[in-house]
Each structure stands twice: as structure tokens, then as C-alpha cells.
Structure 1
């Protein structure tokens, strides 16, 4: 009987091309879906932080109401929080006798509000520092909160706004980790974040068009 030999045969060039085309089609279908899932997760996270911030701000206002509307600070979970007694919403941590008004906010005071009223606040840094290990940047929008009527009936103009940008939606400088361009209400395109108005207590999520 003739000797039988096992024969080894590889893929032909046509078969390899067909496999590559199929893999390409699968990748083209799967990647956009994966990106959508990532965007949805980031949006859900943003909404969760905004909801937590709004709830905490409401707690501060409620305690201020209980205390008789005439105090310039309240104690929330053992932390003394400063507020403008014309409005009753948090403006900073209490530091000595210094009281921060809704027209005198700073990057630091906006960061203090974010970190002090939220339980387990997401990692955050001021917008012009290295943000590679943070989830949010913090910046004050001087005078961007409009005019609000205080509890004494007077119009208070030039109210400041606190801006909290989601780092995942920003472009960071590869060398120093600083967002570029600097995040604001109008830049960069596609940036997502949260605004907090210390005169109205309003917390809103946004996306720069």
C-alpha cells in the first residue's frame, strides 16, 4: 500500500483578505457603540454629581432657614460653611470672621463649596493646574451669575458663578496636564460640566456647543 502522508495547508491570500475585511466591518460597527457607552457613562456620572451638589446646597439652605435666616454660616456634617446672609446658599468654608459674598467668589471658594458640601467629592483641582489625576476642574465665572433679588428686597448684580468642568471632556497639555484652552462657559467645544449659582442655589449641567 502506498505510504500515507499528512498534508499541511495554509490560508490562501483571498481567504486572508476576506477575514481582514470581516474584522474591519466588525470593528467599524463595535467602536461607535463603545464610544456611545463611554459618553453615556460620563453623562450619567455628571448628572449624579450635579444631583448630589444640588441636594447638599438645599440642605445648607434648609439649615439656614431653621436657624432664622440671620446667620452667616451653618454646620453641615460637622463642617462650618460660610454663606451670604442675603441668600442663604454656601459660598465657602468659614475662615475666621471672613465672609464670602456672592459677588466675591474665587476659584478657591468655589472649590471649597464643591469639596465641603459633597460627601466624597470627586477629585478636583483649580482649572489652571495639573488635572491629570482629577475628575473635575474648578473655576469662578466672575459676574456671570446675573442679577438676583436678595431676601432684603435689593437687587444684587454681578453675581459670580462656579464652573465645574468634567476633565474627561477637556484636552490636557501633554507636558503639564493643564487644560488647553482654559475651560469656560464658551470653550472648549464639547466640554461638559456643572454650574452653581451661590445667589439662587441653582445647579445646572451644561455642554459647550
Structure 2
């Protein structure tokens, strides 16, 4: 009768396999960790692109309508604007130097066809995609259609909620969100006097 031997891996072979798996994991894990950051960056850039296009549509409709009206009809929605510049300023506000957090949120909700859910800083942001704030008078100056320079323009700030530090109890953002020179997290800025839309990434 023949004697049967059990065959298996030696200790050296197992150690080599474990070392190889460790090396693969060490190179692959950082790539997977960056996927979230890349997705957030892409989301912000997508919203910035959509907002920029929508702002251009409002301005184009305003041009077609004769350049002096303070509202335009965009896909059945009435959007207010500052007649000096022609860019959206909300549902009822018509002054790019008198924006509020509410009017910034209205711009976001009115001009985007399918806007992400947004909230103001004093509201629980854990289930929202964006937190809307305002940098009062921080947008510099821009020339009106008549060539008059107007200063003190406001800037709307749209922060990606997942990039902010939120209070564990209230869900409110803990950072200062109205300082254009010290932006927190990731998001989009909009200047209703110049029509400029830009994304920012921490």
C-alpha cells in the first residue's frame, strides 16, 4: 500500500504571500481614500458649471427682453435681477449690493433645474447637500451696462455640506461661513454684479 502525503503551503510561501498582499494594500488603500475627495471635487465643479450656465441663460433672456426689465421668465419661473447688471438676484430682490442669505438661496433654487437641497447656516445641514451663506460687500466692483462702476457687491457662497465641520448635536456648521478670504471646505461662489461663478476647494 502506497503512503499518501498531504500537500500544502510551507511557512515561507505563506509569509511571501502575506508580504505581497501587504504591499498591494499599502499602494491601493490611499487611492480608495482619495475617491471621496475626488467625488466631492467633481460634485462642486458640476454645480459650479450648472450655475454658471443658468446665470448665462438668465442674462441672455434679459438681453433678449430689452435689458431694462427687473425680472425674466426662465423655464416658467420668474427670476429677479439687478437692471444695472442683468444677473439673477433672487425671487424678489433686485439689487446686487443688497443680497441676503435668503436671496442667495433663491438664486440657487430658481435658476438650477434640479437644485441640490440647500439650507442656511442656522439650520441642521446633516441631510442637506449645500449650506448657503453671504459675504456682504466682499465682491469688489463691476461696471453697469451704462459704464458706471458700482462697488460693494455681495457674494453668494454655496458650501458643500459634507466638506464642513458640523456640530454633532445641532448639525449646524461650526466654521465661519461669511468670509470670502477664509473659505471653509469646498463650494461655489457667485457674484450677482459680475455674474462670475467659481468653485473653491480647501
What TM-score do you get using the length of structure 1 for normalisation? 0.84
Equivalent residue in structure 1 for 2:79, among 73, 81, 84: 81
In structure 2, how many angstroms separate the alpha carbons of the residues matched to 1:109 and 1:162? 9
Equivalent residue in structure 2 for 1:54, among 52, 55, 67: 52
Equivalent residue in structure 2 for 1:130, among 124, 133, 136: 124
Deviation at 1:31, TM superposition (A): 2.0
Matches within 5 A, 1:25-104: 25-94=23-92, 99-104=93-98
In structure 2, how many angstroms separate the alpha carbons of the residues matched to 1:18 and 1:171? 43
Classify 1:20/1:173 alpha carbon distance in 2 versus 1 (closer, same or farther; 3 Å): farther
Deviation at 1:16, TM superposition (A): 8.4
What is the SS of the residue equivalent to 2:59?
helix
What is the SS of the residue equivalent to 2:138?
coil
Q: Does 1:108 align with 2:102?
A: yes
Equivalent residue in structure 1 for 2:152, among 146, 149, 158: 158
Residues 171-208 of structure 1: CA distance to partner in whole angstroms, max 9, x if unpaired? 111111111113343143xx111100101111101124
Classify 1:75/1:138 alpha carbon distance in 2 versus 1 (closer, same or farther; 3 Å): same
5+ residue gaps, structure 1: none
Deviation at 1:39, TM superposition (A): 1.6
Classify 1:52/1:187 alpha carbon distance in 2 versus 1 (closer, same or farther; 3 Å): closer
Residues 9-55 of structure 1: CA distance to partner in whole angstroms, max 9, x if unpaired? 9x98x998877766554443222101222222221111111111011
* Conserved? CA contact 1:127–1:182, under 8 Å: no
Residues 63-90 of structure 1: CA distance to partner in whole angstroms, max 9, x if unpaired? 1101111100001111111101000000
What TM-score do you get using the length of structure 2 for normalisation? 0.87
5+ residue gaps, structure 2: none
* Conserved? CA contact 1:145–1:159, under 8 Å: yes
* Conserved? CA contact 2:144–2:150, under 8 Å: yes
In structure 2, how many angstroms separate the alpha carbons of the residues matched to 1:133 and 1:20? 42
